[in-house]
Structure 1
Amino acid sequence: MFESVFHLPSPRPRSRFARLAAGLVAAILLAPVLLLPATAHATPALVIEVESGKVLLAEEATKPWYPASITKLMTAYVTFKALRAGRLTPETLITVSANAAAQKPSKMGFKVGTQVTVDNALKMMLVKSANDMAVVLAEGVSGSLPAFVAEMNATAAQLGMTGSHFANPNGLPDPDNISTARDLAVLARHIFLDFPEQTDLFRIPAIRIGPAVIRSYNKLIDRYPGADGMKTGFVCASGFNLVASAKRGDRHLIAVVLGTSSGRERTEQAALLLERGFQHSWHIFGAVAPTVEGLRNEGGAPTDMRLQVCGGKRKNTASEDDDTPSTASGYVAAGMGGLGENVTGASLLQKLPPSMPPVEVWVGPVPSAEALAAAYPPPPEKKKPVVKDKAAAGKKKGQTTAVIDTSAPTDEAAPGAAPKPAAKTTPAPKPAAKPAPKPAPAQASAVPAPKPAPKPAAKPLPKPAAAPTYPLVPPPPPQ
C-alpha cells in the first residue's frame, strides 16, 4: 500500500526489523492522508523537509498540474545559474523588448526599451509576479525566449523533475507548461540547497517603486510564524497554487498546495500543512522514510480547474490577488495531534511584526524619478465625444426640443431631416402676415417689432452645444 500510493520502486529484501519499521512508517505517513476530509482529495498537497528531502505528508503529489506562476521558480533558478557562471551580474542592465511588454498582467507595464538590472527584475518577478520581467530575464540570460525555455527544460531534467515541461518563463496559460507537486518541491529544495545566497529574494514582503508599494501575493509572509517565502501562482486552469517555506528551530519545511478555489484558501491550507509537518518527528524511522526524489510521477493530462475556479457560479472575478474566504478552512486539521480538530488555517495566521521594510526597486542603473516616469507609456487619450450629431444639430433651426427625431438619429438620412423642423416652423411667419393689414401703415412698423420674437429663435444657431436636447439623441453605433 505504501509503495502503490507513493509510487516507490520495489524494495530489495530486508530484515524482519527493517520491514516492520518500514510498515510502521508507512502507517504513520499514510494516516494523515487517509484522515483528510474527502473534499481535499481532488487537489495535490505535499510537505517535505529541506535538509533530508523526507516526505512528511503527501496527497496527489505526483499528479500532473499546471504550475502557473510557480514556473517563475525555474526562471529564477536558471538565472541564478547564469549569475554563478559569470554570464551576467546582478547589476547587468537588460532591456524590455516588445515581446516582454506584450505579456498579459500581472506585469510592471514598462514601455519597450526600458532597462532594468537583473537584480531588480528578479525582485519584481518574484514579488509582483511580473510576467513581463520573466521574459526580460529570459531574453537577457539566454539571448532569446526559445533558448531560455530550452535551458529551463534541460535544468528540469538535470534536477530529476520527470513530470515537468516548461513552455514559457512566466507560467501564462499553455497546455505544454506542466509540472507536479513533487517536482515543484524538488525545485524549491534545490533553490535552498544550491543557491542559499539568493534565498532572501523569496521572503521579501513588498517592493517600493517610486511612491508605490507592491505587496507579495504570498500571504504567509509576516503572518505565519517562521514563513520565509517562495512563490504563488494562478491561472483559471490551475486554480490557486503555492509553494511555501517555513523554518522553526533547526527544521526547515516546504509545503506545496495546488488547485485551491481562492487565494485565501491556498494560504490557510499551506499554513495547516506546514503546522502539521512541524508536528512530525522522524528521529526513529528517519532511515526508511520516503524522500521526495523517491516519489514517481504519474502520466496523463493535467486536471483543468477552469469551471470550478472561474466558472459562472463564482461571485467575484478570480485573480492572483483573490482573498475570497476559504470554503475548506479545516483542511488537514483532522488528526493533527495536539492541535485538535477545531484548528483552522485562519487560526494559525496572525499579524506579525514586519520582517523587513519594502525593498526599493527602480529602472535604469540607479534610482531616478525621471527615468521611472519615462519608463511608463503615456496614458491613453480619452475619446472625444462624437461631433457628428452636433454638426447635424447645428443645421436645425429654432425649437429643437419639438423637432428632433430620436427614432433614427444615426441613419444616413438623419442630416436631411434637418429641413423638417424648418417646415414645421415656416407657419410662424404666416401669423405675422395676417395682423399686418389690420393696423395702419404707420403702426405696422411698430407692431412687427414685437412679433419678430419668433425670429430671435434663430440666434441660438451659433450655440448648438447649448441645445438641451442633444443628450436625448442616441449615440451612433460602434464602428
Structure 2
Amino acid sequence: MLATAAPHNADAEALLLVEADSGKVLHAENATYPWYPASVTKLMTTYVTLKAVKEGRITLDSVFTVSPTAAAEAPSKMGFRAGTQVTVDNALKMMMVKSANDMAVVLAEGVSGSIDAFSEEMNLTAQRLGMTQTHYVNPNGLPAEGQVTSARDLAILARAIIRDMPEYEYFVHIPAIRFGKRVTPNFNRLIGRYPGADGMKTGFICASGFNLVASATRDGRRLIAVVLGASSSQARAIKAIQLLDRGFSSNSLTWLQPALGTVDNLAPIDAMPPNLRDEVCGPKRKRPASDESPEDLMASEQNAGNATMSFFSGLQTPSLRPVDMLAAAPAPTEPVVVYTGPKKSGAALIAAVEADSAKPAPKPRSKKQHAATDKSAKPTASSAADTKVGTKPDGRKSVTLDPKTSVAKPAAAPKQAPRPAAGAVKPALSAAKPAADKPAADKPKAAKPAPKANTTDAKPAPESKPKS
C-alpha cells in the first residue's frame, strides 16, 4: 500500500502516473485524496453511454432531444435551444471536445430517462470498476454536493475506457470539431502537440482547480497521467507532460525505483476534498468560469487557419521544454464536422452544415454572469440553498440566486428607452425581473449599446503565469 500525505490548500495538487496495460504505478502524490472531478466526470458519462451502445440499448445514430433542463445548463455548452435534436455520435463529440455541459445532460436523459437515473448508473459502474472513492450526482461535473473522485479512481476509469471500449476510443482524442463556422479545438492541449498524445479529458471548477486525465503511447507502451488541482490549464498541461516524459524516459531504470504496486491497490484516504476556490478564483485571479481557459481560446484564434507546421512530425522524442511545446501550433488536422438533427451524409450533410452555419451563435455571457454562475454553484452543503431553479410557463428554466451570494440587477433600465413606443408597458414589466432569470441565449435589447470585446472568445485577460 502507498501512504500519501493530505494536501494543504495552499499547494494542493494530486499527481498520478500509471501504465495503461498493467496498472503499475510509476509516480503518485496525493493520488488517493478525494477531489472534485469537474468535467473529467464526462469520461464516465462517455463510458456509460458507449456501454449502452454496446449492449444494444441505443446506437450512435439514435436521436436525442435537448430538454429545457439541458438547455439551461451553465457553460461550457453548445447553447442549443430546447427541442433541438442531436445524434448520440454528435453529442459525444461535442461533449468531449468542447466539454459541453448541455450535451452531457442530453446523453444522460436519452440513455437513462433522467439525470438521477443516469447518475445512479454512473455510480453502479464506478462500483463495478473498483472506483471506491467516487460518487456522481450529475453527468457533466458542474459543482454539486457529493460529486467526488480521486486521481486513483480516474486512472482506473481511464484504463477501463482503453480496455473495454477500444472501438470507440476515438471519442477521447478528437483534435477539434467544427459546428457551422465555428471551430473548437480540444481543451486537452497535449493533443496535436505532445508526441503520442491520445486522450483524454480536462476539467475545471474553482473548487477543484484545473484537472486533466491525459494518455500517450510510444513504442507500443501507453501511459496515463492524472493531474488534479493545477493553478491553470497551462500548469496542468505542463505537469502532465512532465509526468509522461518521466515515465517514457525511465523505462530502462525501473529496477532502481521503489515498487509502488498497482493503481487498484493504492490505499484510499477518508477526508473531505480540498476546496481551492480562494487560490484558483480569488479576487486577484484572472480565470474563466468554465473549462474554456483564456490561453486555450487565444491559442485557437491565433492558430485558426494557420498553415504553419507544428514542431514535430511523427512521434520522435520532443526536444522542446513543455512550455514551448504548448506554445507551438498543434499538428495540422481537419476538424471533425458536427451538426444537429438525425444522421446525414453526402448532400444532406452539406445542407445541414450550411443550415447550422446560418444560425446565430449563442449570446456570450458577461464576466458578471460568469461570476454569478460560479458563486451560485459552490460544491458545499449550502449550494442547494444558494440557488433555486424553477420552470416558467413557457418551459424555460429560471434560476434565483440567494442575495448573500449574488446581487441581481434589473435587466433593463429606463434610461435605455427614454421615449418608448405604445408598447412601453412590456419593457417596464421585464425590468422588474432579475437578470439571472433570463437565459444567456436571449436576444439583446435593441436599445442596449453594443458590448466591447467578447471577453470569452476574443481576448480574455491571461491567467497568472505558471511556473515552468
SS at match of 2:215: strand
Aligned equivalents of 2:120 and 2:359: distance in 1? 30
Aligned partner of 2:224 in structure 1 is 254
Pairing 1:128-139 to 2, within 5 Å after superposition? 128-139=98-109
Q: Does 1:363 align with 2:347?
A: no
Counterpart for residue 109 of structure 1 = 79
Task: Determine whether 1:320 maps to 2:291.
Answer: yes
Q: Is the 8 A contact 2:2 2:267 kept in 1?
A: no
Q: Counterpart of 1:5 in 2: which secondary structure? A: coil
Task: Provide the C-alpha distance between the structure 2 equivalents of 1:315 and 1:129, rounded to a whole number of angstroms.
Answer: 20
Instruction: Give the equivalent residue in structure 1 for 2:112.
Output: 142
Partner of 2:3 in structure 1? Answer: 5
- C-alpha deviations, 1:98-157, integer Å up to 9, x for none? 100010000000001111000000000000000000000001111111110110000000
Where does 1:459-470 land on structure 2 (aligned, <5 Å)? none
Task: Call closer, same or farther: CA 1:236–1:6 in 2, change over 3 Å.
Answer: closer
Matched, 1:305 2:271: no
- How big is the alpha-carbon RMSD for the aligned residues of Structure 1 and Structure 2? 3.2
- Select 2:323's aligned residue among 323, 346, 361: 346
CA distance in 1, matches of 2:259, 2:241: 27
* 1:67 equivalent in alignment to 2:43: no
1:56 counterpart SS class: strand
Partners of 1:210 and 1:343 lie apart in 2 by 35
**1:271 aligned partner, one-letter code:** I
**Aligned partner of 2:282: which letter?**
G
Amino acid at match of 1:372: D
Structure 1 unaligned regions, length at least 5? 8-37, 326-338, 392-479
Displacement of 1:201 after TM fit? 1.2
**Following superposition of structure 1 onto structure 2, how do residues 62-461 of structure 1 map, counting pairs within 5 Å?**
62-281=32-251, 290-317=261-288, 319-323=290-294, 345-349=322-326, 351=328, 354=331, 356-365=333-342, 366=344, 367=349, 368-369=352-353, 372=356, 386=415, 389-390=418-419
| Paired residues of 1:69 and 1:171 also in contact (CA < 8 A) | yes
The SS at the match of 1:300 is coil
**Aligned 8 A contact 1:185 1:292 in 2:** yes
Shift of 1:374: 8.5
The secondary structure found in structure 2 opposite 1:242 is strand
Deviation, structure 1 residue 253: 0.3
* Cα drift, residue 323 of structure 1: 4.7
How much does 1:279 deviate? 2.0
Q: In the alignment, is residue 44 of structure 1 matched against residue 14 of structure 2?
A: yes
Offset at residue 354 of structure 1 (A): 2.6
Alpha-carbon distance in structure 1 between the residues aligned to 2:30 and 2:416: 62
SS of residue in 1 equivalent to 2:136: coil
1:210 shift after superposition? 1.2
- The percentage of aligned residue pairs carrying the same residue is 53
Contact 2:2–2:266 at 8 Å: present in 1 too? no
Tell me how far 1:175 sits from its aligned partner.
2.1
Instruction: Supply the AA of the counterpart residue of 1:190.
Output: A
Give the Cα separation in 1 of the matches to 2:11 and 2:194: 24
**Between Structure 1 and Structure 2, whose CA radius of gyration is higher?**
1
CA spacing shift, 1:40–1:191, aligned 2, 3 Å: farther
TM-score relative to the length of structure 2: 0.67
Following TM superposition, by how much is the alpha carbon of 1:41 offset from its aligned partner in structure 2, in angstroms? 6.1
Q: Is the Cα contact below 8 Å between 1:204 and 1:356 reproduced in 2?
A: no
Deviation at 1:55, TM superposition (A): 0.3
Shift of 1:40: 9.8
- C-alpha contact (below 8 Å) 1:63/1:181 kept by paired residues: yes
Change beyond 3 A, Cα 1:251–1:150 = same
- Residue identity opposite 1:359 in structure 2: V
Deviation at 1:353, TM superposition (A): 6.1
**C-alpha contact 2:192 2:330 (8 A) present in aligned 1:** yes
Unaligned runs of 5+ in 2: 297-316, 365-410, 421-468
- TM-superposed CA distance for 1:202, in Å, is 1.2
Deviations 1:353-408 (A, max 9, x none): 6363100000011231475369769879x9797587558xxxxxxxxxxxxxxxxx
Shift of 1:216: 1.1
Distance 1:89 1:139 in 2: 15
> In the alignment, residue 267 of structure 2 is paired with which amino acid?
R
| 1:141–1:148 contact (8 Å) kept in structure 2 | yes
Change in CA separation of 1:369 and 1:359 when aligned onto 2, cut-off 3 Å: closer
Please say if residues 137 and 146 of structure 2, whose CA atoms lie closer than 8 Å, have aligned partners that are also in contact.
yes
Q: Secondary structure of 2:3's partner? A: helix
CA distance in 2, matches of 1:58, 1:387: 57
- More displaced, 311-320 or 209-218? 311-320
TM-score normalised by length of structure 1: 0.66
1:307 is aligned with what amino acid? D
For the Cα contact (< 8 Å) 1:191–1:199, is it kept in 2?
yes
The residue number in structure 2 matching 1:11 is none
Structure 1 pair 317/41, CA: closer, same or farther in 2 (3 Å)? closer
Whole-Å Cα distance in 1 between the matches of residues 359 and 264 of structure 2?
A: 44
